[in-house]
Amino acid sequence: MPELPEVETVRQGLAKWVTGRRIASVEVRHPRAIRRHLPGADHFAAVLAGHTVIDVCRRGKYLWLPLDSGDAIIGHLGMSGQLLFQPGDAPDEAHLRIRFRFADGGPELRFVDQRTFGGLSVSPGGAELPAEIAHIARDPMDPLFSDADFVANLRRKHTEVKRALLDQTLISGVGNIYADEALWRSKLHGARPTDAITKPAAARLLGHVREVLSEALVAGGTSFDALYVNVNGESGYFDRSLNVYGREGEPCNRCGTPIRREAFMNRSSFSCPRCQPRPRRPVRATS
């Protein structure tokens, strides 16, 4: 599933191509793509037509597009969602779900989603911050993110550190790939109890989370297949820089030990057995 770097890459592309443009019409081609918009497809199209997109924003893995009406379009890419700009005469994609045409007659915006796990909806009065996503924590790239609050809240939890990194109410935008990468850089196993992590170790972990996200953003995100692309249909290339994720059996880039894969929440975790030993027993940190 796209994480912060992938969604931010899409946000930047959307901001370039859609800000200041007035929506002329909206065509919903699959009802699942607007399933979170309870009034239905006709209402979704009618409430957007004639209004101008004034910005493109992000909270964690969610996008929102404030409109001059005071409402906002909320978007989540799910597993395979793509927001693409195409000339109006370009052939329709096989999995085209929603089409936006604009009053200027320029490129149209298409929401394409093979698996239809993603979707769009309208948040009434949600231009500043949609209520539907207000519970999601700020991400570590946000200027208003509090490092001190994160460290304190992380150490206050009684869970494993990787589970905490995936908790979008604690820190948003981090998913399975970048959690594994940040933990490898921090030399922490994902099962380490959060209340056994010292303040300096928690601060270092947060620093590595930021490093990984920043580097991935520069690379345009991580693409393992054709399902994640930016608004121009281009793949990211951070997969070339991954140290552990997806590298089972390959040598650790730090010590040479073969990378291990472990089951984790119906997914997989990747780590180095030598650099990231499993915790033997929980010991509460004192500083």
Q: Which of the four pLDDT bands, split at 50, 70 and 90, describes residue 3?
A: confident
Instruction: Check 35, 267, 278, 284 and give the catalytic one.
Output: 267
Catalytic residue among 3, 8, 108, 181: 3
pLDDT in tens, 148-179: 999 999 999 999 999 999 999 999 999 999 99
Average pLDDT score, the chain: 93
Query: Is the pLDDT assigned to residue 126 strictly greater than 70?
Result: yes
Residue 3 among the catalytic residues: yes
CATH fold for the domain made of 4-133: N-terminal domain of MutM-like DNA repair proteins (3.20.190)
CATH code of 147-271, in short, is 1.10.8.50
Residue 286's pLDDT is 46
Indicate the pairing of strand 62-66 with strand 57-59.
Answer: antiparallel
Catalytic pick among 58, 59, 61, 99: 61
What residue spans of 138-246 are helical by DSSP H?
A: 147-156, 161-165, 176-186, 199-218
Concerning whether 160 is annotated as a catalytic residue, the answer is no
Annotated binding site: 95, 115, 157
- The residue among 225, 231, 198 whose CA lies nearest residue 12 is 231
Asked if residue 71 lies in contact with residue 23, where contact means CB atoms within 8 angstroms, the answer is no
Q: What is the residue whose two structure tokens read 């070339």?
A: 240
Which pLDDT belongs to residue 230? 63
CA distance 2 to 175: 8
> Is 240 a known active-site residue?
no
For this structure, is 187 an active site residue?
Answer: no
**Tens digit of pLDDT for each residue in 37-83?**
999 999 999 999 999 999 999 999 999 999 999 999 999 999 889 99
Catalytic residue among 2, 130, 140, 193: 2
Residue numbering of the annotated binding site for DNA: 95, 115, 157
- The pLDDT of residue 201 is above 90: yes
Q: Find the farthest-apart pair of alpha carbons in the chain and give their distance in angstroms, rounded.
A: 64
pLDDT of residue 136: 97
* Tokens 């919903």 found at: 28
What are the structural domain ranges in the chain? 4-133, 147-271
Residue 219's pLDDT is what?
83
